[in-house]
Amino acid sequence: MPYVNDHIALLRADGAGLQPEHAVLEKTCDVDIVPGPLPGMSGARGIGGGEVVLRLPDLLSQRGTIAYWLRTPAAILNGRDTRGGGETFFEIPGLLVNNLWWYSGYSQLNFRFTTEGGLNHTVELPGLPGPQWIHFCYAWDAPAGLLQGYINGTPTRLPGVSVPVWQTGEGSEVTLAPGSWAIADMRFYSRPLDPDEAESLVSPLYRGALDGLIGAQPRGNIDTTALRGDLIYENKLDTEQAITGWRMEGPGIVRFDDGWMHMESAEPDEGNAGHIVHWCDRDFPADFLAEFDIQPESEHGLTILFFCAKGCNGEDIFDPSLKERNGIFAQYTGGDINCYHVSYYANTPGSGRGRSTSNLRKNSGFWLVDQGPIGINPGSRDVHKISVLKRGARIELAVDARRVIRWFDPGDRYGPVLGEGKIGFRQMKWMQARYRDFRVYSVKEQ
């Protein structure tokens, strides 16, 4: 479906094999023709590890769109018994590469420009369903700072958020190695499609079908007043005396003004370091409702709440037998403590701008177990109420009563359901924020 005044090249499959339009097949391997995502549409799957090389009539460079259907051969799941792997779907030498890597902790979709300083649009997922056809689309305008992805028509970056301007290479030779993944109806445009155009490429049968997986599906509200039991802990976070006994890990600066606790890093430009975690010194029960106010004071950064934190063998997280921690993320996600953590504000510099999800992970293992809608919008300077519920296997997080996380820990794939432990406030080095009125309640029977 070409658009007016727009060049489009197509790669389709039918019973006779691959059928390019406005493009030339320079090299093709043996392919299986398989039923496609829609009636009358076929897909192609490579046999024997061969390549398909497609020559486009014009160079792709600083602006463009690539859209295609991809069929996963089987479900991809993370967890303790997951074996890692990867698949490159296509490459345009000199310009970009598109691939998927999966690990024990998460799956990672990458659309990466290969020139030095080129950007990478990365989407992390708990896994992918399969066998299933999924539509992917990537649109870019490097001089304008546009790099957007779509899964089944749904944006994977907050619409309207720009990324840093970058320089691309150029290329017109497309190398596909479908392997066990079938591909169908591949389209190349010389300009970025707008969101409506990208969505129009997806049949209503598929449109938004993975929104629950990629965090784009609303999850309703939480009435925390109906959940609050007895008050276990209360801290206004308004003076230095209020945090006597708390532990700061990393180069954190804490100050108090106007009834708030302000936190930031003393080393915001310190490479991979400079991040901070501020732990409350109390252990909280396995079931609790925690609430606090936060007000972001910077555009870039990321905030996380750790909870149910204990040593992997049941130690207090401050036990001297555990390795020292200084704010570097891997010490908390793959080290010698277990915990859950939720990121609810995420807008890191570079290609990390405009992340559209709140993420729940379980550690030690860095398992991405749930993604929900964005918690706090980038650039917000408003005061927001954070509510975190842990009741047995049920975990929920809400921002201003709007639920963004709801997950039930199965207690096997990622290890046993976690119980009592500590709560910590994490900020990446760019983040500046202030907190007040931290309260923890028991949970009412319902």
Tokens of 16: 């006779």
pLDDT of residue 141: 98
Q: Which residue has the tokens 């006597």?
A: 244
How much is the pTM? Answer: 0.95
Q: 384: which 2 tokens?
A: 């927001």
CB atoms within 10 A of CB 260: 21
pLDDT at residue 269, as a whole number: 84
The pLDDT, as a whole number, for residue 445 is 82
pLDDT on residue 6: 64
CATH-assigned architecture of domain 8-200: Sandwich (2.60)
Positions in the chain short of pLDDT 70? 1-7, 178
| Furthest-apart CA atoms within the chain: distance in Å | 77
Distance CA 157, CA 74 (A): 26
Domain ranges of the chain: 8-200, 224-443
What is the dotted CATH code of the domain comprising 224-443? Answer: 2.60.120.200
- What lies within 8 Å, CB to CB, of 232 at 6+ separation is 284, 285, 288, 440, 441, 442
